[in-house]
Amino acid sequence: MIPRIDVRGCSARKNFTGKLDFSFDADENWLDIPYVEFASSVKAALAYEIFSDEKAEVTGTVSFALKGLCSRCLATAEEEIVFPAEGVFSPSPEDEEYGYANGYVDLREFLRDTVLFALPQRLLCKACAEDETENE
């Protein structure tokens, strides 16, 4: 389950920072690499800060594993991914900000975007990955 941030509640308690550590199962439809699937749940380690203008900044990392067939040779391939997550939430969002309503920040769209940005263009087995780095 993906938690929400209660901006109003935190502000009322004068608790303007916090941490969130949780896991969730990513939607397989997020993957556009043929013959690849998530090998683990997505783990999120996030910190948030709420500002006086009611904006909330969320930073941290997401990590997950992929498994499937190598995009080049079709051998079995796996990859562990750790990716930075950073977003700003606002009740009246501007460019590059996520919106929130009723005092609660819903992290689902933010996490989906972060996972999508973290995905490699293709999954390579160890042999193909080493061959690619030698040719650079």
**Banded model confidence at residue 1, pLDDT cuts 50, 70, 90:** confident
Whole-angstrom CA distances from 99 to 10, 21, 63, 111 are: 17, 22, 24, 14
Q: Which amino acid is at 77?
A: A
Please write the tens of the pLDDT for every residue from 36-90. Answer: 999 999 999 999 999 999 999 999 999 999 999 999 999 999 999 999 999 999 9
Q: State the average pLDDT for the chain.
A: 94
How is residue 83 written in tokens?
């990716």
- % of the chain exceeding 70 in pLDDT: 97
DSSP state of 101: B
- pLDDT attached to residue 131: 81
Structure-token match 């996520």, residue found: 98
**Banded model confidence at residue 133, pLDDT cuts 50, 70, 90:** low
Give the count of beta carbons closer than 10 Å to the beta carbon of residue 51.
Answer: 13
d(CA 60, CA 27): 21
- Sort strands 76-90 and 98-99 into parallel, antiparallel or unpaired: parallel
pLDDT surpassing 60 at residue 129: yes
- pLDDT attached to residue 41: 97
Secondary structure element (H or E) that encloses residue 2, with its range: none
Q: What is the pTM of this model?
A: 0.91
